[in-house]
Amino acid sequence: MGSIPEEVIVPHFVGGGRIEKTSKSVQAPGQGQLVIKVEANALCGSERSQFFNGSPDITPGHEAAGIVVSSGPRTSTSVGTRGAVFLMDFCGMCRSCLKGFTNQCLNKRADMGFSHDGGYGVYELIHENIFFPVDSSLSGTDTTLLLDIMGTGGHSIRRAQRAHSDITSLIVAGAGPIGLGVLAMAKIMVGFDLPVYIYDVVDYRLALAEDLGGIAISLAGGKTLSNGLKHHGVSQIDVAIDTSGKKAARESSLHSLAQRGVLVLVGHGEELLLNVSPNMIATERTVLGSEYFAYSELAVNYKYLAQNHDYIAKIITHRFGVEDIQHAFDLFFSGKCGKVIIEQ
């Protein structure tokens, strides 16, 4: 795989929406660790704080894919293997991990790109347990689809299905990349004939949602979700999934639910106020949180990706080299894009 340099130039998030460059040393892998040469890393809305407030010590990037270039003792992954990097470095031994809930590890060792250097750097040092190998024919960029797009999107659908096994309609709040991922995974997992409504104020993203088979509802100009649904002859929905993190969207989604309806909260952000008797008890509705996804879901979603590659890959709209990362982030937070990828 060639020699690994001692130091590399990596993006430095200095705050104020500016990204500069800095030099960092490349760490050698210890016991149970791998060094990944990053090929691609997808931008995410959860990096807003790092972009605008700065990340002085940590190189961001938590949707990384790349190739193993070095391995430490007690590892079994071969150098040259391509794969995706799971965000959460789980312990594997706690009660949650032993039950498969690795996204709820009780002794989490890292959040890659937040607590430890992530995928916008040239190399990423990880524990082997969070590396998911893929076939070499799958590109690094396409491998990133397994993470927030398919992983987080699919997990929210699985959470909803635990409370509502007979989903006949679904609505998504927010047509950003995560919302588009929820839409696509709902179609893949529940059925392409499932009506999936999706609302936003950005025309670009609503057009992309329609291309994925969603039923777009624009709330631009002060339009309401209720009126948007009525326009399509609908008044009540089985499942609502909020990816926006906005209080108003959470409340509108909740009020759109039928009896036994489920609201799944994916987007971090603002509050949700519940009038318990009418909102919850009388209607037997369910409100659930959904955080990232479990490592075990990667294998299932990998099969979905093989079967639906051309469909799910539509969510990726822009690719940039790392030298253009500033422009990539400026575009991403303008909203006039789908998923944006940094390729190295």
**pLDDT tens-place string over residues 26-71:** 999 999 999 999 999 999 999 999 999 999 999 999 999 999 999 9
Q: 316, exposed or middle or buried, with CB in 10 Å at 0-12, 13-18, 19+? A: buried
The residues, ordered by sequence, that sit 6+ positions from 39 with a Cβ below 8 Å of its Cβ are 65, 66, 67, 82, 139, 140, 141, 143, 343, 344
Q: Which of 45, 296, 311, 301 is nearest to 150 (CA)?
A: 301
Q: Is the fold of 7-146+294-343 the same as that of 150-289?
A: no
Q: Which amino acid is at 9?
A: I
Q: What average pLDDT score do residues 118-138 get?
A: 98
Q: pLDDT tens digit string along 227-244?
A: 999 999 999 999 999 999
pLDDT tens profile 269-301: 999 999 999 999 999 999 999 999 999 999 999
- Kindly state the average pLDDT of the residues 190-212: 97
Collapse the DSSP code of 11 into the 3-class scheme (helix H, G, I; strand E, B; otherwise coil) and give the result.
Answer: strand
8 pairs with which residues across the strands? 24
**Of 118, 116, 8, 125, residue with least CA distance to 60:** 118
Domain ranges of the chain: 7-146+294-343, 150-289
Q: What CATH number labels 150-289? A: 3.40.50.720
d(CA 248, CA 242): 10
Number of other CB atoms surrounding residue 112 within 10 Å:
25
Alpha carbon distance 40, 313 (integer Å): 14
| Confidence tier at 3 by pLDDT (50, 70, 90) | confident
Name the nearest CA neighbour of 206 among 234, 183, 226, 229: 183
Q: What are the beta bridge partners of residue 263?
A: 240, 287
Confidence check: pLDDT of 1 > 60 = no
Strand arrangement, sheet containing 196-200: 215-218, 196-200, 170-173, 237-242, 257-265, 286-289
Contacts of 318 (CB under 8 A, 6+ apart): 328, 331, 337, 338, 339, 340, 341
7-146+294-343 CATH pick, 3.40.190.10, 3.20.20.210, 3.90.180.10, 3.40.50.970:
3.90.180.10
User: In the predicted model, is pLDDT for residue 192 greater than 80?
Assistant: yes
